[in-house]
Chain A
Amino acid sequence: MLSIKNLHVAIDGKEIIRGLDLEVKAGEVHAIMGPNGTGKSTLASVIAGKEGYDVTDGEIIFNGKDLLELPTEERALEGIFLGFQYPVEIPGVSMTNFMRTALNEQRKYHGLDPIPAGEFLERMENARKLVEIHDKLTNRSVNEGFSGGEKKRNEIFQMAMLEPTLSILDETDSGLDIDALKVVAKGVNDLKSDKNATIVITHYQRLLDYIVPDFVHVLFEGKIVKSGDKELAMELEEKGYEWLKAETV
């Protein structure tokens, strides 16, 4: 599904990602861990198509398409979803309208008619139940006045609405209490199928108690320095990143 080869990314001439390789197949959950400032969020942003990053080498192929050639919105229409670390507040744009517009653009891209009102409402209702967010929130402006936990749940709500093939959840666990974490994890697990895949970016092992990864990768200084299964996450939790630093030097 996703194939990243020898990816090099720089911001303002400073190289952040230095030769990264990653293969993700349908039905898999990958966790990317690593200390702060090693390029985890940069990787997520580059896959989603945020401006301000120079890809100096390498390629990202998604379902046979060269992702780096596509604008942000087309990547989303192809099935990429980014769960933001810091979801943006957009006063004046209601969640309902935001989602309907997004869904209709998606349907148009796939040659379908706009979503019928009844079907849309049903989908909203199901997604809302999944992440236990109140309909008061979905009637408000996008993220405006939402608490930290509500914003993160809203990301998973949008994921449920848009049904992406590849979701990248960037530090979705940061700022969440244990109850909210469980809700978010449950949402992700329920949406999991053998047709889609998830990349979970996290700093702590905690989230991985609830979203069990098939693969764990450790990102350090812009490269994946170690890959393994969920046992690797436990080991990291125990020994800390210093252990890996010592090993890679």
Chain B
Amino acid sequence: MIAESTLKEKVTSLYQSNKDKIVSNDPPGMETIRQQSFEDFLKLDFPTPKLEKWKNTDIRKLLQRDYQILFGPENGDLDLDKIFHCEVPDFDTEIISLYNGWYIYRDKPLTTLPNGTIIGSFARALQEYPDLVMKHYNKYAKSDLNGLNALNTAYAQDGVFIYVPDGVEAYKTIQMVNILNKEDNLLVQNRNLVIMGKNAKLTLVHCDDSHNFKSSLTNTITEVFMDEGANMKHYKLQNLNNDTSLINTSFFHQEKDSNLSTFAISLNGGLIRNDIHVRLNGEGSHADVMGLYLMDKEQHVDNHVFIDHAVPNCTSNELFKGIIDDHATAVFNGHILVRKDAQKTNAYQTNRNIILNDKATVNTKPFLEIYADDVKCSHGATVGQIDNDALFYIKSRGISEYNAKLLLMYAFAAEVINQITIDPLKVRIDDLVKKRLRGELAVCDQCVLNCKNQEKTYEFKIDMSKL
């Protein structure tokens, strides 16, 4: 028997004893949401494998650890300049960073760009733009979905806020970097809010990194509102140490003719759970939800995708691929809901996995729930091994077994990478994946788009640049 969650007691008492600090920045209406969520948490508790959606991801072990929670920002001894100078060649980005869960206050916590785009600290946005924030805050998230979401909503103080006004294209790609670096184990609960006006355009690269080897737990929620015709490209890159756990929940709400493309690229991490919820709420909206996970050792990754086709004439396309080695485990759960009136829905879902040995495990569950009659939906899931016939064919041309396997693994992963439409980013992610497959990707001392160790400076036995 695993003992009763000690973390539940801790977060309950800390919430009560720090409530003044937590609510000190709240605009009207927010404290009520917190209180309700706190009560939800007490009822729901942390999820256990008894719940269908948590059957294959057991977080009870994480709850036995002791974590510190920060109720205010502190800047550690990290050389912040290094972080801010982390650039991808030919790829102009605006970098915003969270340090141990708190926005790094550089020049100013909230920047308004000349085109009206606002980016910066969520906590500061609560002060400066309470009406704008509260119009959307917690409207798309389902804070009572599980105990973790409820706890985040009760606790959330800071995170990233992005607002792109009607008709505006955020002039640069925004790169959001979450850095964990603390002597103690940390429990971090960010809250990110992205609001996109009509026909607004945004590219967001969302990096999760750890810098030390502490066993931190991040429980983050990102809410995205996309008004009519909005277009968002979203790339989540996850490169965490083997003791760090990340529970990453995203809620996308899409209005008419909006277009979303979101990627979850999990390169490393002790336990990663991506909960991705997309509500297609306006006709003509489209969502591409893609994922790639490369897990080994004792790592665990879980992608839960829920796509809600609420209205007619929407399309969605899911592609998740994974390569699993050693004792690692991967979970995929894809749920497509087509509501009664959502006629002419097109929804496709694919999950493909390669396991490299018989100790690795994949649990995949595609699930279509369809109440409309004029729809096109398909799903497919496979778990296989490296194709031995292909391996022999490649080797028979004089290519070593190691390189033959690399070629095949990379070819498998490339199907997802090739969907990335921003070339410099694609090249960069491509590099990261190749490094990861060769076992050369370290948990970076900078952000995941680390430029210090570029592929170009390496000499490789095998040139995969033209694949």
Contact = CB atoms under 8 A, between A and B. Distances in A.
Interface of A: 48-51, 71-73, 75-77, 81-82, 84, 87-94, 96-98, 100-102, 104-106, 108-109, 114, 141-142, 158, 162
A71 B401 contact: yes
B370 interface: no
A76 B395 contact: yes
Contact of B466 (A71, A100, A105, A162): A100
A120 to B, nearest CB: 11
A50 B462 CA distance: 23
Given A102-B398, A105-B398, A105-B399, A93 B392 contact: no
B70 interface: no
Given A81-B397, A162-B398, 4 more contacts: A50-B392, A84-B393, A91-B415, A105-B400
Interface stretch (B177-185, B192-200, B403-411): B403-411
Tell me the interface secondary structure of chain B in the complex: helix
A113 to B, nearest CB: 12
Contacts of A109: 398
A71 B395 contact: yes
Contacts of B348: none
A88 B390 contact: yes
Contacts of B467: 92-94, 97
Interface of B: 387-390, 392-401, 403-404, 407-408, 410-412, 414-415, 461-464, 466-467
A81 B396 CA distance: 7
A98 B396 CA distance: 12
Given A71-B395, A93-B408, A96-B466, A101 B403 contact: yes
Contacts of A77: 398
A101 B411 contact: no
Contact of A101 (B390, B393, B399, B415): B399
Nearest to B418: A92
B404 to A, nearest CB: 8
B410 A76 contact: no
Given A88-B390, A90-B408, A96-B466, A102 B397 contact: yes
A158 B463 contact: no
B400 A90 contact: no
Contacts of B463: 97, 100-101, 104, 114
Contacts of A51: 388, 392
A101 B462 contact: yes
Contacts of B410: 92
A97 B464 contact: yes
6 contacts: A71-B401, A72-B392, A73-B396, A88-B389, A92-B415, A109-B398
Given A51-B392, A92-B411, A92-B467, A98 B397 contact: yes
Contacts of B399: 73, 101-102, 105
> In the complex, which of the residues A72, A84, A88, A94 has the most CB atoms of chain B within 10 Å of its own CB atom?
A72
Nearest to A73: B395
Nearest to A84: B393
Nearest to B466: A97
B466 A76 contact: no
B412 A94 contact: no
A180 to B, nearest CB: 21
B415 to A, nearest CB: 6
Contacts of B397: 76, 81, 98, 102, 158, 162
A142 B399 CA distance: 14
Contacts, number: 92
A88 B401 contact: no
Nearest to A109: B398
Contacts of A90: 387, 390, 393-394, 407-408, 411
A137 to B, nearest CB: 16
B403 A105 contact: yes
A93 B396 contact: no
B362 to A, nearest CB: 20
Contacts of A48: 396
> In the complex, which of the residues B396, B410, B412, B464 has the most CB atoms of chain A within 10 Å of its own CB atom?
B396
Contacts of B462: 101, 104
Contacts of A142: 393
Contacts of A100: 463, 466
A82 B403 contact: no
Contacts of A97: 407, 463-464, 466-467
A91 B400 contact: no
Contacts of B412: 92
A104 B400 CA distance: 11
> In the complex, which of the residues B390, B393, B408, B411 has the most CB atoms of chain A within 10 Å of its own CB atom?
B393
A91 B409 CA distance: 11
A49 B395 CA distance: 10
B50 to A, nearest CB: 40
A50 B392 CA distance: 7
Contact of B400 (A73, A96, A114): A73
Contacts of A106: 398
B315 to A, nearest CB: 24
B388 to A, nearest CB: 7
A72 B396 contact: yes
| 7 shortest interchain CB distances as A-B pairs | A92-B411, A76-B398, A88-B393, A102-B397, A72-B395, A73-B395, A77-B398
A49 B397 CA distance: 12
A75 B464 CA distance: 24
B56 to A, nearest CB: 28
A105 B400 CA distance: 8
A100 B398 CA distance: 11
A93 B395 contact: no
B411 A87 contact: no
Contacts of A72: 392, 395-396
A109 B392 CA distance: 19
Contact of B398 (A73, A91, A93, A141): A73
Contacts of B400: 73, 105
B98 to A, nearest CB: 36
A94 B466 contact: yes
> In the complex, which of the residues A82, A93, A142 has the most CB atoms of chain B within 10 Å of its own CB atom?
A93
